[in-house]
Each structure stands twice: as C-alpha cells, then as structure tokens.
A and B are shown apart, each in its own frame.
Chain A
C-alpha cells in the first residue's frame, strides 16, 4: 500500500492526493513530491476506472460500439457518439440528411453548455465558492430535461447513430430550446458578475498553472487548455464537420496561459455555443432524420480517422477495418489524457494550494482518461 506521507532528511515530502479526493472529481491518484509547500514533481497514477473500452469495441459491431463511448467522457456523451457516427459514415460514405446534421450540431452545443456549466460550478466550489454550484446546476437541469424529452436519457444519451439520429426531435423541442436560450443569455452576465469579476477569485487564478504555447503544442494539449495558451486548435474551425462550416462563431483564444485564461476561454465559449444554437434552431430543414443504411454495417478494408471538438478538446476515433462487421482495432485519442500529461509542467514550482485551481481549470473527466 502507498504511504500517505513519507519524507527524507532534507525535508522533501511525498504525499498522495487521491484516488479519493474531492478536488480530483473522480478516481485520479497523484503522487506529489514537495519541498515545504512547493511542488517539485507530480506523477499521475491512472487506471482506477479503466474498463478496456478499446478491447471491448473489437468484439462489438459498428452499431453497438457507439453506446460504449457514452461512458468515456460522460459529460460530452453526445459529442463522443457524434465522433463515432461520423467515423463510421466516413467508411460507409453515407450522406447524412441536412435535418440530422442540424439536430446533431444543436445537440452538440447543448452538451457543451451543460458540460461547461458543470465545470464552472465544480471549479468555483474547488476554490471556495459554494453558491455557483447551485446556480450552474439550475441551468444544467433545464438542458438535461430537454435531453431527457428528446433522447430518453439525461447523461448517456446514445442519440446519434451512423446515418443520422435515432429518432426525430420532440414536437416542443425548438420552442423549449429557444425558451432556454432566451433566459440563458442573462445567466452568463450573472456568472461574470458573481465569479469572473470577483477580485479574490482573480487573485486566486491569475498567474497560477502557467502553460507556454510551445509546451501546450508539445504536450498535445487541445480544447480550452490549449486555446488559453494561444494555440488555435478548434476542430470545428480547422476541420469542420456536419454544418459547422455554415455557422458563424468565433474561436476563443487567450494568450496568458494561466488558470484565469482557461477560465475566460470556457466562459466565452458558452456565449459562442449560444450563438451557434440561435443560428440553427429556427432553420432546421424538413426531411429525413436518418439516411437509409443496411441493418448490418460492414466497413471496407482500410483505416478511418475522425476528430471532433468535445467540451474538453480534440477527440479522435481511429478505426482499422478488415472488412468485417466489427472493427479490427479501435483507438480513442482522448483530450483529457494529453491535457493531464501537461499537469506536471503546469504545477511544478508552484504551491500545493494552487494545484486545486490548476486542476479545476484543466477540467479533467477521469473515465475519459482511463477509458
């Protein structure tokens, strides 16, 4: 067993944070070497929630394996499903109906909002503000209700299938989303007033967990973590999929590279998600919600790679097919895995008290890292 605390005569301490720790938001185990309060090294130990999803997918068909991926990054379940559906469609060369593309992108952005909501609440709670958690969950609940009504589930939706979406949207879907968006705009202003402008909060965040542009690229960081260090890496802009090429939105980039920059990127991304939904919600075209596909899907021999932007960064699905009904090999390039690898670089030389702020703005989801 690991000792909780051990020390050398020079005063170098080794402590364990996790696997059960409120600030790791899941079963992540960090072994931290300390000199007094200063962090010398952080070594993550993973695998407490490893389910060997890649091995399981090798024995599941192209229709079945998508459902397993909802359990990776469970806060971006829709977007994970979307990535897999797109990858299978790429292999089958299926044209997805416009209606399905619109529904998918709206669902993706609602998921991103829900995920950033949870991050915002949990991160504020980590640094000592309890109220934002309730505010965030109030809005997240509305999104979850829309999800439940449309997909029948609140967290692991499994709504996207190869060729489109599983069922058509609920008759009141458009009206409910519009109602939510109308109220939500004031909420972001409220968040800014409550947390962003708070001087105590800013002092806690600024200059903490600095990540340089070079390191962000070298560590393969993606998503808000990389964009806060000035790396333009939004997959929705660089390699647009479905109707993302047709909507207007800004790629949010900050250059400070500290925790506060990462915070700002996510807050502003919420505004952009609202903007995308507003452009699409009134214009969902009539037509099929699913392309006609065979009951048993067979991908041609070859390799297919599809990347999408989840709430955490770039998710890649790499399928190696031998022409059968199941993938020969499948690999998920998870955003959290690469972002976590940069944690040592970010926290080294800082104080252990600041680690919570750094971890909070990394927005790690452990099942996504362990897979």
Chain B
C-alpha cells in the first residue's frame, strides 16, 4: 500500500486522527488514551497487518513528550509512524507489549530515560541505569553536574 492508500484506510479506524505532512512515511497522531485500540487494529487487520514494531521511542519537546511507534508490515512492505502526545508532569500510556513482545524491553528503556509510566506493563523496572538513579536523563532539562560535559 502506498502512503495515500494507507492514509485512506486509516481514516475510518479512529475519528480523532491527525496527520503530519512532510515525512518519508505516513505520520499519524492519536490521542494517548486511544492509542492501544488503534495499534491493536493495525496489527490485526489483514490488509494493514503491521506485525513488526521496529522502533519505539520518545521525544522531549520541553512542553510535552511525544511517544513514537515505528511500524512495518513484513507481508505488505509498508511503513507507518504512530505518535501520541503526553504531558510532562505525569506521563502515562498503556503498554503495547502484549501486541509486540519486543515492546517490553523498549518500554523499560523509555521509562528510565524519559519517565513515561506504561500502564499494565508486566515488569516496569530500570533496564540500563542503576536501580537508585535519580532523574530522567534524556529529558532536555536533565542536569548532572558530575558526569555531563557541556560543549
């Protein structure tokens, strides 16, 4: 499916979708509380069949956080980027690790680096940093007077 066809088949799935223009792939924003059902449909629908989550990350925009899910279909060879905006004070979103198992590790990584809480995650602990680490290091306002060198 090319980008235009993909866009057309996404529209009936959710009334609150907004598209971002200009990228290589279709970029779609969805309200964070409607993300999980949308992703479930994207993976299950035979015509879309996004069975491979190849990148899951987060971007700190200083006023809000944006979750970014890169999906591809190994069968149809099309790609899609799904995004959800979260507030910075108390970012919470449903886990997707029951849809794609790889999300379990990727979400743990996002949790420790950005402080996003994934609801119903089976084992939300720090993965790379030490257990007693304070702060969310990939946020833009993170300061570490000892280890950080400013250029």
Query: Residues on A close to B: CB < 8 A?
Result: 45-47, 50, 52, 54-55, 59-60, 90, 215, 217-220, 222, 231-233, 238, 302-305, 307, 314, 316, 318, 320, 328-329, 331, 333, 337-338, 340-342, 345, 370
* Chain B residues with CB under 8 A of A337: 105-106
B22–A341 contact, CB under 8 A? Answer: no
Residue from A50, A220, A304, A328 within 8 A of B54 (CB atoms):
A220
* Chain B residues with CB under 8 A of A231: 74
B51–A217 contact, CB under 8 A? Answer: yes
The residue on B at minimum CB distance from A239 is B77
* Chain B residues with CB under 8 A of A328: 59
Residue from A59, A60, A316 within 8 A of B55 (CB atoms):
A316
Q: Given known contacts A47-B130, A233-B74, A305-B55, what 11 new A-B pairs fall within 8 Å (CB)? A: A47-B129, A50-B128, A52-B137, A54-B138, A59-B151, A215-B101, A307-B54, A318-B68, A329-B59, A341-B102, A370-B128
A/B interface sample: 29 pairs, CB < 8 A: A46-B128, A47-B129, A47-B130, A54-B138, A59-B151, A60-B151, A90-B24, A217-B52, A218-B100, A218-B101, A218-B102, A220-B53, A222-B54, A303-B23, A303-B27, A303-B81, A305-B25, A316-B70, A329-B59, A329-B60, A329-B138, A333-B54, A333-B70, A337-B105, A338-B105, A341-B101, A341-B104, A341-B105, A345-B101
Do most interface residues of chain A lie in helix, strand or loop, or is the interface mixed?
Answer: mixed
Given A220-B52, A316-B55, A59-B102 contact (CB < 8 Å):
no
How far is it, in angstroms, between the C-alpha of A345 and the C-alpha of B150 when the chains are bound?
A: 42
How far is it, in angstroms, between the C-alpha of A302 and the C-alpha of B27 when the chains are bound?
A: 11
A331–B130 contact, CB under 8 A? Answer: no
The residue on A at minimum CB distance from B43 is A218
B92 at the interface (CB under 8 A from A): no
How many whole Å from B25's CB to the nearest CB in chain A? Answer: 8
How many whole Å from B43's CB to the nearest CB in chain A? Answer: 10
How many whole Å from A93's CB to the nearest CB in chain B? Answer: 12
How many whole Å from A27's CB to the nearest CB in chain B? Answer: 12
Q: Which of B101-151 contact A (CB under 8 A)?
A: 101-102, 104-106, 127-130, 137-138, 150-151
The residue on B at minimum CB distance from A49 is B128
How far is it, in angstroms, between the C-alpha of A81 and the C-alpha of B101 when the chains are bound?
A: 29
How far is it, in angstroms, between the C-alpha of A302 and the C-alpha of B24 when the chains are bound?
A: 10
* Chain B residues with CB under 8 A of A55: 137-138
How far is it, in angstroms, between the C-alpha of A13 and the C-alpha of B17 when the chains are bound?
A: 50
A318–B57 contact, CB under 8 A? Answer: yes
B24–A305 contact, CB under 8 A? Answer: yes
The residue on B at minimum CB distance from A221 is B102
A220–B138 contact, CB under 8 A? Answer: no
A331–B55 contact, CB under 8 A? Answer: yes
How many whole Å from B105's CB to the nearest CB in chain A? Answer: 4
How far is it, in angstroms, between the C-alpha of A331 and the C-alpha of B106 when the chains are bound?
A: 12
* Chain A residues with CB under 8 A of B150: 59
The residue on A at minimum CB distance from B23 is A303
Residue from B51, B57, B74 within 8 A of A331 (CB atoms):
B57
How far is it, in angstroms, between the C-alpha of A302 and the C-alpha of B101 when the chains are bound?
A: 29
B23–A219 contact, CB under 8 A? Answer: no
Of A46, A215, A222, A231, most buried by chain B (CB within 10 Å of CB) is A46
A219–B151 contact, CB under 8 A? Answer: no
How many whole Å from B23's CB to the nearest CB in chain A? Answer: 6
Given A215-B101, A218-B101, A232-B74 contact (CB < 8 Å):
yes
Of B23, B52, B70, most buried by chain A (CB within 10 Å of CB) is B52
